[in-house]
Each structure stands twice: as structure tokens, then as C-alpha cells.
Amino acid sequence: MGRLLLLGNESIARGALEAGLAVAAGYPGTPSTEVIETLMKEKDRYVEWSVNEKVAFETAYGAAISGAYSLVSMKHVGLNVASDALMSSSYTGVEGAMVIFSAGDPSMWSSQNEQDNRYYGLMALIPVFEPFDPQSAHDLTVKAFEFSTKVKHPVLLVSNTRVNHSRTWVDVGELKPPVWGKLVKKPQVYSLVPAIARGNREKQLKRWELITEGVKEFNTIEGDGRKLIVTAGVGYAYVKELVEGDVRILRLGVSVPLNREQVLKAVEGVEEILVVEELEPIVETQLKNILFDEGIRVKVHGKDYVPRVGELTFEKVGKAVSKFLGLPFVEVKEPEVKIPDRPPALCPGCPHRSSFVDLKRGVVKGGLNTTFFSGDIGCYSLGVLPPFNSQDSLTEMGSSLGIANGIFRATNTVPVAVIGDSTFFHNGLSGLANAVYNNLPVLVVVLDNRVTAMTGQNPSPSREIEIEDVAKGLGVEFVKAFDPFNVKESIDVISEATRWVKENKKPAVVVAKRACALDVLDKVDGELPIAVVDEKKCTGCSICYDFFTCPAITVGKDKKAVIDQVLCIGCGACVPVCPYNAISLKGDVPKGWDEVWLS
Amino acid sequence: MAKLNIVIGGVGGQGVITMGKMLIRAVKPEYKAVASETHGLAQRGGAVNVHVRIGDVYAPLVPLGRADYVIGLEAIEGLRNIRYACDSCVLVLNNKVQRPAIPKVALPTIDELINTAKNYVKVVVLVNAEDLALKAGNVKAANTVIIGTMLAVGKLRDFVDEEVLVNSLNDVNRKALYLGMENYDIVFSK
């Protein structure tokens, strides 16, 4: 019908709309976020950011068991949060269509691990659709909805960064009106008490047979030769560009499960096989299973040739393919260029920078000279970097509170739990309830910047629900908020809370309230003020650029501070940081400036 | 069939993704085009890059040693991606060295960066992209300035439709594009 310039994730959203999507829910996480962001523009469908992936999953599932077409979106680790619901969904199946979109992050550009979620397909008995570029992402999404409704079973759509975040021209079709559900009550299917679950287990395996038969249509056999390359996902894009001549290629649009009959057809007359897939040997293992069963003794290369670590590249696939085809491979020698690292940094104006500075001084003033900063997932994870060094652990969403408990029980050291507002609602509530229930002496610092900032300022429940009220409601006796840009007040609140925790052996919650600087800039119009350095007063002590490290402050002559005119947003956070009062603000603030920062 | 590989390096927030988008939007209809982007946490003031591939391409990333252009929207970030440069590569550097936000960092000068680059590329072009963008009306148009320079030096002109590109830009960016086409220094060529 037309051609649009789309990101892989936008292609998936477009495919869902063409399939008749009615209900979509998700939790933001790179590289998945743009699917829900794109769907949200459609007013005739119901689309929401849920508080976490489990709730999002159940929302889409609830819609699908009433006959609607639904989608749930999350990053790979989000599916861990939703995995309880995932396993059950496979037992019951669905009435309409349910597509579970999970975006993986090989090489961990923005994640804590690079788990391969295709394993969930094998574990839960849910087929895994795996696109190789934005066009196939679009096409497979449409087909995934059709297949789900045909087999009455949820399906997984798994793709990784280089599909999700590639942009290209995509041929698209017509949008279809949403397929809504109607109230159907089938407790004999959807109420998984043991007697019903046992029956469902049998039916699940029957559906799995149907699915295994049905997946053939999403796979193709291309070319011919005595050598076979089996490939799925982005692996196909590399193979397609690298391989010429007498090679047979089995391209899998669905990588779980493999279809025995199709595999046998592909391996007919083949002398050697190479499996090219990102991360884990999911296809390789299934393939070897089938060949072993059939007594076919043909050499299968997979993870012995293609690395298991990190995303695929031309170099990795090129080396494997050359070795497999017996062709020479010239390795490119990487030049050694000495340049400074540039890790990601908190933005100019980020309230977290000020919070970290206040926090360190506040806990010491409160008498806690040694502590453990139990951290969490968000922009503030960057507090792990120098000069802050204020995230001694951060492992998954909500980890700060649970780990703080373990640290205290094992060491008797009073810990500090640092968690963002969106993460607090995602998976922090149960940890805080546990801290109250089990009398954990912990200083909980909620960094409330009013948005889910890291994924692009997505909305956060903190806009609708006051964190202080939640903490009080859960039984926390000491609850106070502070403005991190107000250094004196912040240190006072943090030190008072610290002393209270030590004396009362119970949790205290302090909330740093100031909006994400990027969100502020989006919401105001007009010229910004700018920080200026009084050269006469500046002593070159380096506190502002070496210990506060705002990217807008750089070093000039005689180590004096210089403000970068392009980067500075005039937030004023650096003003109280200078011990010599050498920094001040120049210019007027735009209309509504203070209100937006403190909203 | 012909291919053009471009790697754009920059600092998160500089408009690296936008630059990739502008390029592939203007690619001539007979060519395929794909841009592979960096999103999320890595974007926050950190080193980011975008791979743009045009022509007979399927894969999202540029092979090492195969980029026809390496672009540094910030000069250090140009050098960080120098491993992608092919022998005939055009390196376009914005005349700007931005300090990474880490304590006690030693910064290279632009001349040191250019000297290093000479070992790996055929042409080094220096552009005062921010100044020119300001002159055009908005400092954020620095990426468009650089696209202008790429049209003036190297093979980009064979792959994009200049009219489509110009029509996709607003007045400020159009001005920035033309300023970039006319104001650059070839500081090295072999």
C-alpha cells in the first residue's frame, strides 16, 4: 500500500495495527520502547504503559482470553518479571491473538545481561518469531497475530537491538480495525487450580504439535549446494550479504520450534551444516536433536564457529562462514588510537547528580561513615561511575531494597537503598513492605524525577501517586521530601533520616523531588539562563568539573572553570557547589521554569 | 552493485541519530538504505555512533575497514570510529573537542587527533560546524552542516538526491547545508 521510513520497532507497531490490534501494554526498556510509543499515537486502540511487565503481560493476556487481539512489549529482562504469567498463558492458550514482544540486547548496550529469550519459547512451549530486519519485523508481526489466533496460543516475537533500532524504508499494508473481545467465562480453562491445570497440560502439548506443524510456512530454503547454512534473526542479514555461490540456506522466521519434516528436506544431500544465530545455540540444539533421532551423521557447526558472546558483526559471521566454506578470511587489524573514554554521563541539569553529592555528605553528617549503597536500574545507575561511586550493587529492577536487607542481615552495616520513582512502583513496593515487616534499618532514597527518564521520558506513576503517601501507607514512620538542588536542606533531611534509622532500627524514606532536566527542556519555551564563572573568584580548585562533573563545565586557563555555552541549560545546580561563590546565573528564566522543575 | 558505508560518531544528544535519518531519507530510490542507531542509557552524554549503509546491503553494521566516510560530530568520537575507515576513507571532523564528564581527564588537541588520523584515512576534512550552524540560525543544525560538507567531498552525492534532501529541510537547516558545502578545510589528503 505504501512505503514508510521506519525503525524496526515502528515496523512492529505498524504490523500490529495492520493485524487488528486492540489492546497493547508494556513497560519501557531499551531496545523495546518505541513499539508502545508508536502505538500510543493511535486513538482507536487501547495502549498503556503499565507499572511493570507482569501487569502489562496480564493486561494483554486478559484481553486475549476474551477474544481481542493484543500485544505486550518489554525488553528481554522484562520477561523475567512476567515469566510467571507467561508460563500459565501457555497452559490455557487464548481466544483471540496475543503477541509477546521481547527485545534483546546482545553486547549489553543498555542492559545488565544479554540473556537469550528464545529459551522462554522452549521452556514455555510458545513459538518464537524472529525477524532479521525492519521489513521482516513488519511482515512477521502481521503473521504472528494470524498464527496466534489460528492456533489459539500466545506467540513470542523476539528481536535484538540491530533489528529494533535499524531504520529503513518498509513496504506497509492497510490498517485493520481493532478486534475487541467480548465477555466469555470459561473457568474450566482459565482457572488454573490443579485439576484444571492437569487437563490443560495435555491440551497444551496437543497445541504444540499443531504449532510445530504450522511453523513451516515462515521458513524458506534458498539456493542449493552440499553445504547448508541454517540461520535466524539478524544472522540471515549477514549471511545474505556475505555468501555467494553454491550454498543452501535455511532461513528461519520461526526459530522455536523447528519442523522435523522441513529440516530433513533442508539437509537432504548435505555434507556439512553451519548454524548462524545470535547468542545461544537454540536452533543448533534443536537441529542436532532431530538429526540424532533420525540417525543422520552430518557435521553441525554452530557455537564452535560463531561466538556465543555479544551481538553478531560482519567480522564474526564472516570468519565463521569463511572457515565453513574453506575460504580465506583476512582479519582487519584494529588501530590502537589513544583517546579518552567517554562513558555515558548524567545530563547537564540532571537532579541525580546533585542528589548523589547531597547523599554522600548527608549520610556522613548523620553518623554513617561506612555504608553500602544498594542501587537500582535507571539513569541513576550511572552513580556507579566516579566521582559518585554510589551504587555498590545494582542487578535488576527493584534490587536495591531486597539486597539492602541481605547486606544488613549478613554484616550489620546499615545500608542505603537508592531507587528511582518508576522503579519504585515497578518492583520496589514489595521490598519496602518487607523492610517495614521485618524491621530493616535502611535509609531509602527515592530519586523522583517524575518520569521514566532513561528510555526517553516515558510517564511514571509518580505523577499520579505521591511516593511519600505510599511509604506512609506501607507503615514507614520517617518520610520526608527534599529538593536536591537545595544543598543545605537536602543534607539536613538526609542526615536527620540517617540518625533516625540508626536510633530506631527501622526503615526511613527520603524522596529527592526535582524533574528530569530533559523533560523540563521539552516543556518550556524561550531563552534559557546560563551559568557564568567569575574568573577573579575562581581558584581552579576543580570541584565543579572533577567532583560535580557537569558536562557543561570544562577546564580553561590556570585550571579555572569554563561554562560550555551550548551544553549549559542554566539550571543553577552548580551555583551552591562552588565553595568560592564564583558561579552565578545570568539571564531570565523562561515562563513556568520553576514550576516545571518542581512539579 | 555499489555500496556506501558511513559511520557517524558523536556524543549522545548531538543529533547523531537525526543525521542518520536525514541521510537515508534522501537516498536515491534505486538504492536500499539502512541506519543502525544507539538508543537508551548509552545515549546519555556517552560515545554514540550510527552506521548508515546505502546500496546493495542487508546487514545493519559496517564491516571494520570498510567505511567510505567516518564522521566525527565531535573530533574524539571521529577517531574512536577510525577502525571502520577504508583506505580511501574521507574523515570529516567537526572542529570541536568535548571533555568527557569524568574526573581528571587529559584531552587531546584537534591537531593531535588530525595527526593520528593521517595514518588511517585518505582525506581529513575539518569543519567549524557549530559556528556555521549558529550563522544559519541554530547551533543544533551542526549535523546538517556536516552533511553539506559530505556532499562536497567524497562519494555521497552519487547516492543521495540533493533535491529530496533540500526539500526535507527547514530554512535554517537548508542554510546550514549550503554553508557546510562551501566552508571546510581539507587539512590532509594523500
pLDDT in tens, chain A (599 residues): 799 999 999 999 999 999 999 999 999 999 999 999 999 999 999 999 999 999 999 999 999 999 999 999 999 999 999 999 999 999 999 999 999 999 999 999 999 999 999 999 999 999 999 999 999 999 999 999 999 999 999 999 999 999 999 999 999 999 999 999 999 899 999 999 999 999 999 999 999 999 999 999 999 999 999 999 999 999 999 999 999 889 999 999 999 999 999 999 999 999 999 999 999 999 999 999 999 999 999 999 999 999 999 999 999 999 999 999 999 998 888 888 999 999 999 999 999 999 999 999 999 999 999 999 999 999 999 999 999 999 999 999 999 999 999 999 999 999 999 999 999 999 999 999 999 999 999 999 999 999 999 998 999 999 999 999 999 999 999 999 999 999 999 999 999 999 999 999 999 999 999 999 999 999 999 999 999 999 999 999 999 999 999 999 999 999 999 999 889 999 999 999 999 999 999 999 999 999 999 98
Reference A387, options A351, A353, A349, A411; nearest CA is: A353
Torsion angles phi and psi, residue A391, rounded to 5:
-140, 90
Count how many Cα atoms sit within 13 Å of the Cα of residue A32 in the half-sphere of its side chain.
Answer: 27
**3-state percent helix, strand, coil for chain A, nearest multiple of 5:** 40, 20, 40
Residues 522-561 on A with a CB inside 8 Å of B are: 545-547, 549-551, 554-555
User: Which residues lie closer than 8 Å to A579 by C-beta, 6 or more apart?
Assistant: A541, A543
Whether A405 and A442 have beta carbons less than 8 Å apart is answered as: yes
Contact at CB, A549 and B76, closer than 8 angstroms: no
Distance from CA of A527 to the nearest CA of B (A): 12
Distance from CA of A212 to the nearest CA of B (A): 29
What is the separation of C-alpha B108 from the centre of its chain, rounded to a whole number of angstroms? 20
Locate cell 544488613: which residue? A408
Q: How many CB atoms lie within 10 A of CB A107?
A: 17
Contact at CB, B44 and A347, closer than 8 angstroms: yes
The answer to whether the bond into A459 is cis (omega within 30° of 0) is no
Instruction: Return the bridge partners of A408, or none.
Output: none
Angstrom distance (rounded) from CA B5 to CA B71: 11
* A157 three-class SS: strand
Contact at CB, B58 and A342, closer than 8 angstroms: no
Reference B128, options B80, B81, B176, B70; nearest CA is: B176
A28 touching chain B per CB within 8 A: no
B119: chain A residues, CB-CB within 8 Å = 335
A389 touching chain B per CB within 8 A: no
Q: Residue B188: in which H helix or E strand, if any? A: strand B185-189
Q: End-to-end CA distance of chain A: give it in Å, rounded.
A: 45
B104 touching chain A per CB within 8 A: yes
Contact at CB, B76 and A334, closer than 8 angstroms: no
Q: What is the largest CA-CA distance in chain A?
A: 84
A166 touching chain B per CB within 8 A: yes
Angstrom distance (rounded) from CA A458 to CA B114: 40
Question: Is A347 flagged in the annotation as binding?
Answer: no
* A373 three-class SS: strand
Angstrom distance (rounded) from CA B147 to CA A415: 51
Contact at CB, A315 and B33, closer than 8 angstroms: no
Angstrom distance (rounded) from CA A137 to CA A253: 10
Whether B32 and B57 have beta carbons less than 8 Å apart is answered as: yes
Structure-block grid coordinates of residue A243: 555468501
B102 touching chain A per CB within 8 A: yes
Angstrom distance (rounded) from CA A20 to CA A18: 6
Please report, as a single letter, which amino acid is at residue B170: N
Q: How many helices (H) and strands (E) does chain A have?
A: 22, 25
B20 touching chain A per CB within 8 A: yes
β A219-222/A248-252 pair status: antiparallel
